[in-house]
């Protein structure tokens, strides 16, 4: 049987009209599949050899498509009948730092288009060795076994690549490992350690800050309807993308929280140490990054996840001697910047993160965190009286 031919890419020149009505008009150019090359030419898989269980493959757009994109033509390039993949992202080397649109094929049908934000604020601190990268990278999206994708990239960009992450494990570990008992005495919530989700070894030893001043809340912009058994694979996929595509030393977040209220250790270095992450460029040092698995731009987070974030940050800030409803003064350039001790990522950068629906619940998270701190202070006073 001859190989199935994919339809040619849909080529649309983007116009910027003053009238919103006119903005929907576009000139569609249909090229013959006999004269147009395949939209994408896959590279050899660039699998990172490590003890991890998720691997990343990069595919580059064909030269003809690259040229059209650089000339300002909006190209939606499609590829299907691939080996199933679980997470997808896009990167390019120069041009506009703009959102990219993607959709995927699952069980023979195409999903809705969704926008992926070009990351810039979710990153290591400027000037750090970990933060040195030349590519603009989109946030990744969890797609769980898709076998095709279509990407619509910003005009005027170069060297566009699509990155696919595949997980090699078929099931999640059955046993959840908790933080050490001596930590639970300080009010620590149950935390699943890195070993429980099959994390890779970090590329380098973690950097530890001298103090912890605040926490940032994030979302991962992934699916919201995942099962509990899928969470470890989602974490492995995010870590693989951060390390293989972004070029970071490890997963960027210090902790992650799932929709069932489960708390997971992210970046290596220990749950009680001031590990410098890669989640809020310019403000990673002396902050802890907590990401909720899901997309909360228009969907509300689960009550269990909100409670878990409050409990986690309440304990972690109490351990550092930080008032959960207080203020943190963080260095910025030659000066300083003031934050609430528990802030959303958008408070530090021009980003939608952690999504409007989760951001709207930050006051409730602060209340829960403050209650944890009050219990900790009361326990400390009781211990001092003994």
pLDDT of residue 123: 72
Is-contact 360 243, C-beta < 8 A?
no
Neighbours of 220 (CB within 10 A): 26
pLDDT of residue 99: 84
Is-contact 90 70, C-beta < 8 A?
no
Q: To which residue do tokens 């799932």 refer?
A: 258
Is-contact 76 150, C-beta < 8 A?
yes
Is-contact 112 141, C-beta < 8 A?
no
Question: Can you tell me the distance from the alpha carbon of 365 to that of 11, in angstroms, rounded to the nearest whole number?
Answer: 46
**Segments of the chain scoring below 70 in pLDDT:** 1-52, 74-75, 95-96, 120-121, 133-134, 169-187, 376-386
pLDDT of residue 289: 98
**Closest among 203, 226, 245, 200 to 305, alpha carbons compared:** 226
Is-contact 268 199, C-beta < 8 A?
yes
- The verdict on pTM exceeding 0.95 is no
Residues 257-270: tens digit of each pLDDT: 999 999 999 999 99
Structural domains present in the chain: 40-167 (2.60.120), 181-385 (3.40.80.10)
Residues 6 or more apart whose CB falls under 8 angstroms from that of 308 comprise: 189, 257, 261, 262, 263
Task: Write the secondary structure of the chain as one string of H (helix), E (strand) and C (coil).
Answer: CCCCCCCCCEEEECCCCCCCCHHHCCCEECCCCCCCCCCEEECCCCCCCCCCCEEEEEEEECHHHHHHHHCCEEEEEEECCCCCEEEEEEEECECCCCCEEEEEEECCEECCCEEECECCCCCCCCCCCCCCCCCEEECCEEEEEECEEEEECCCCCECCEEEEEEECCCCCCCCCCCCCHHHHCCCCCCCECHHHHCCCCCCCCCCECCCCCEEEEEECCCCCCCCHHHHHHHHHHHHHHHHHCCCCCCCCCCEEECCCCCEEECCCCCCCCCECCCCCCCCCCCEEEEEECCCCCCCCCCHHHHHHHHHHHHHHHHHCCCCCCCEEEEEECCEEEEEECEEEHHHCCCCCCCCHHHHCCHHHHHHHHHHHHHHHHHHHHHHHHC
């Amino acid at each position: 049987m001859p190989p199935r031919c994919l339809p040619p890419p849909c080529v649309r020149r983007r116009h910027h009209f003053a009238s919103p009505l006119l903005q929907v008009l576009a000139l569609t150019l249909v090229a013959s599949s006999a004269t147009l090359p395949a939209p994408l030419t896959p590279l050899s898989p660039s699998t990172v050899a490590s003890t991890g269980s998720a691997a990343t493959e990069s595919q580059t757009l064909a030269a003809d498509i690259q040229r059209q994109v650089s000339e300002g033509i909006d190209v939606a390039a499609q590829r299907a009948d691939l080996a199933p993949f679980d997470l997808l992202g896009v990167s390019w080397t120069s041009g506009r730092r703009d959102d990219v649109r993607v959709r995927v094929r699952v069980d023979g049908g195409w999903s809705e288009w969704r926008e992926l934000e070009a990351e810039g604020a979710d990153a290591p601190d400027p000037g750090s060795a970990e933060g040195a990268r030349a590519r603009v990278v989109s946030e990744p999206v969890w797609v769980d076994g898709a076998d095709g994708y279509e990407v619509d990239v910003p005009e005027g960009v170069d060297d566009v690549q699509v990155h696919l992450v595949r997980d090699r494990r078929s099931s999640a570990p059955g046993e959840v490992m908790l933080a050490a008992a001596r930590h639970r005495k300080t009010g620590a919530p149950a935390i699943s350690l890195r070993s429980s989700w099959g994390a890779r070894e970090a590329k380098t030893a973690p950097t530890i800050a001298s103090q912890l001043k605040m926490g940032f809340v994030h979302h991962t912009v992934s699916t919201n309807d995942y099962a509990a058994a899928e969470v470890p694979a989602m974490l492995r996929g995010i870590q693989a993308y951060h390390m293989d595509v972004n070029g970071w030393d490890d997963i960027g977040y210090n902790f992650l929280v799932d929709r069932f209220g489960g708390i997971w250790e992210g970046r290596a270095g220990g749950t009680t140490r001031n590990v410098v992450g890669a989640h809020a460029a310019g403000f990673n040092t002396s902050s802890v990054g907590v990401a909720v698995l899901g997309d909360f731009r228009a969907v509300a987070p689960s009550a269990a996840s909100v409670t878990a974030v409050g409990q986690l940050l309440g304990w972690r800030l109490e351990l550092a001697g930080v008032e959960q409803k207080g203020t943190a003064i963080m260095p910025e350039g030659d000066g300083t910047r003031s934050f609430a001790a528990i802030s959303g990522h958008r408070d530090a950068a021009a980003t939608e993160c952690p999504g409007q629906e989760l951001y709207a619940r930050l006051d409730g998270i602060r209340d829960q965190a403050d209650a944890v701190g009050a219990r900790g202070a009361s326990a400390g006073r009781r211990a001092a009286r003994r």
